[in-house]
Structure 1
């Protein structure tokens, strides 16, 4: 748990979406990879709608989503005060309006309980705390291997969603059985695996459900992150659709 605010010397400002965003991130703490950027690209939000991110960290997903869809009401919930402060700074310095609440998913603050949302998103900690060596930085460790079961994340999302609202998650594939069980209170569940390359086993997946949805479960074909059978040259080899989401801020809609 990181409570003390980051000093500027502990931070680095990184470019996202091809330089459209500049986000402060800790040099040694939890740093965003491609997961929150792609998560933001999948959200089917429209201007004037509301979006809640559970465990928003420094708000990379909220910032990427706000940059793509103008006029959203953005709200983040973050348990670590230092990262909540960082999230507010990132939103403000990128010209985005949003609110970041400090609190625990297991016991959310009263201010959150008063609101409902069109969309809830999350990139929960995905490592098993008992099956790995912990990170030296406590803030990074909590971001990678939080102690709360996914059922609590899904239950809070279900309570805060408006009818027909969507809950979208990105996680490592090992967490799929737990998440499927956690999302049972919601409906219209669909899973979209992400593989490193075509024909390779999936390592990540997106999952989406809707409050009150009645559609049958759908498992979509895997989306390859990279082109070709292997990495043959220096530089990026992301597939065109992934590159567009990461570098241009384009949408990454679920398959129909």
Structure 2
């Protein structure tokens, strides 16, 4: 368990969510918010998040889509407990199971969902410099292959269900080898107009057959460079990050 002194309580969605997370270690920023905004869930549907961490993506989705049923699985018990605490503190019924996605707990292994969302680790194993904090290192560095994340997600989807994933743009080639899914849509996420995308949001449908679509980039900041301190989000990014609206993928 994290000690209280090691936690901060941070605002998301313009203060609609208050999230406890460690001051050191893995700290959620905008990526899980973008992930939740891109998921096309509707009231009454079920959503599973693989690797839910402190629960930010699942809770953002539940706030945006009242009546959606959300569950998550998290391998690090301390973060799973934070997800439960955050759900209770924000009045959201989030079911959190602890375990490895490669060996899902029995309560999840036999269920199917309308949607699966995931923000898998961005860095391949043995690449780059390890983070000093063990929790952050495990959240950001791949132990389970990315291909297995997709395989597990598709097994848990109902026929016609949707998979939504946010990932580092340089992993896109690894994301496109989807067996059993189609109707793929790729949304590049770029920091500014004219800059390369640093993230991609992929959405795919189990059993889908529509052609792949590559959308115009979602731009986060105004201007072509950073010129001042403070927020500089585009209106579209402001609507997602502060007002809790969805991304029309």
TM over 0.5: yes
Residue 200 (str. 1) matches residue 187 (str. 2)? no
Moved over 6 A (4+): none
Task: State the Cα distance separating 1:233 from its structure 2 match.
Answer: 2.2
Where do residues 209-228 of structure 1 align in structure 2 (5 Å cutoff)?
A: 209-228=204-223
Partner of 1:243: 238
| Gapped regions of structure 2 (runs ≥ 5) | none
Task: State the Cα distance separating 1:88 from its structure 2 match.
Answer: 0.6
Give me the whole-angstrom Cα distance separating, in 1, the residues matched to 2:117 and 2:235.
Answer: 24
Task: State the Cα distance separating 1:111 from its structure 2 match.
Answer: 0.6
Task: State the Cα distance separating 1:184 from its structure 2 match.
Answer: 3.2
Residue 35 (str. 1) matches residue 65 (str. 2)? no
Structure 2 counterpart SS, 1:106: helix
Task: State the Cα distance separating 1:232 from its structure 2 match.
Answer: 2.0
Contact 1:124 1:171 in 2 (8 A): yes
Provide, for residues 203-237 of structure 1, a one-character-per-residue CA deviation record: whole Å limited to 9, x for no partner. Answer: 11100100111101111121211111112222111
Give me the whole-angstrom Cα distance separating, in 2, the residues matched to 1:24 and 1:136.
Answer: 21
Provide, for residues 61-107 of structure 1, a one-character-per-residue CA deviation record: whole Å limited to 9, x for no partner. Answer: 01111111111111001011111111011111100001001111111
Aligned partner (choices 63, 70, 76) of residue 66 of structure 2? 70
Task: State the Cα distance separating 1:248 from its structure 2 match.
Answer: 0.8
Give me the whole-angstrom Cα distance separating, in 2, the residues matched to 1:94 and 1:169.
Answer: 24
Task: State the Cα distance separating 1:30 from its structure 2 match.
Answer: 0.6
Partner of 2:180: 185
Provide, for residues 3-48 of structure 1, a one-character-per-residue CA deviation record: whole Å limited to 9, x for no partner. Answer: xx11211111001111111000001111001000111111111111
Give me the whole-angstrom Cα distance separating, in 1, the residues matched to 2:17 and 2:142.
Answer: 27
Give me the whole-angstrom Cα distance separating, in 2, the residues matched to 1:154 and 1:97.
Answer: 26
Residue 233 (str. 1) matches residue 228 (str. 2)? yes
Contact 2:59 2:94 in 1 (8 A): no
Give me the whole-angstrom Cα distance separating, in 2, the residues matched to 1:126 and 1:189.
Answer: 20
Give me the whole-angstrom Cα distance separating, in 2, the residues matched to 1:195 and 1:74.
Answer: 28
Give me the whole-angstrom Cα distance separating, in 1, the residues matched to 2:66 and 2:35.
Answer: 17
| Gapped regions of structure 1 (runs ≥ 5) | none
Aligned partner (choices 124, 136, 139) of residue 128 of structure 1? 124
Give me the whole-angstrom Cα distance separating, in 2, the residues matched to 1:170 and 1:74.
Answer: 18
More moved, 217-226 vs 71-80: 217-226
Give me the whole-angstrom Cα distance separating, in 1, the residues matched to 2:140 and 2:122.
Answer: 6
How many pairs align? 249
Please report the TM-score for the alignment, with normalisation by the length of structure 1.
0.95
Contact 1:80 1:102 in 2 (8 A): yes
Query: Considering only aligned residues, what root-mean-square deviation do their CA atoms show, in Å?
Result: 0.9
Please report the TM-score for the alignment, with normalisation by the length of structure 2.
0.98
